[in-house]
């Protein structure tokens, strides 16, 4: 219980950067569309932040190189396997059907 409250407190504090806003928006869309519980939503939110941080690191490491896009795409290609650890089979298949809409920042 303490861990869950700690994560919520940290999450609430961090929700002012563009990355956290996008991560929250995606997590909220997934919660609404896939009927996720609060823990699943929080885990999806954290995964989105991890993906953002990994992409930013690749952008720093490969800035100005021809391979930047490839490295960023490799990070993006891990999204489904990370989500798979959070979603059950039914919700994962539904996510795959709606993926384009769910992970867009629209």
With a threshold of 0.85, does the pTM exceed it?
Answer: no
| pLDDT tens, position by position, 53-75 | 999 999 999 999 999 999 999 99
For the chain, the domains span: 2-102
Round to whole Å and give the CA distance between 76 and 43.
Answer: 17
pLDDT value, residue 8: 59
Please compute the mean of the pLDDT values over residues 4-8 and round it to a whole number: 57
Q: Residue 3 above 60 pLDDT?
A: no
Mean pLDDT for the chain overall: 89
Note the helical H segments in the chain. Answer: 2-14, 18-34, 38-61, 68-76, 79-84, 89-102
Question: Is the pLDDT higher at 34 or at 7?
Answer: 34
- Calculate ∠ Cα 12-84-68, nearest 5°: 75
Grade residue 30 by pLDDT with cuts at 50, 70 and 90.
very high
pLDDT at 5 over 60: no
């Amino acid at each position: 219980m303490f861990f869950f409250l700690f994560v919520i407190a940290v999450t609430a504090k961090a929700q002012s950067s563009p990355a956290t806003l996008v991560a929250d928006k995606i997590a909220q869309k997934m919660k609404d569309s896939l009927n996720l519980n609060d823990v699943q939503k929080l885990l999806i939110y954290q995964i989105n932040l991890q993906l953002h941080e990994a992409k930013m690191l690749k952008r720093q490491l490969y800035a100005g190189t021809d391979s930047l896009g490839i490295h960023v795409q490799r990070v993006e290609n891990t999204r489904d396997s990370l989500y798979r650890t959070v979603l059950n089979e039914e919700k994962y298949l539904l996510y795959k059907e709606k993926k384009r809409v769910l992970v867009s920042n629209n």
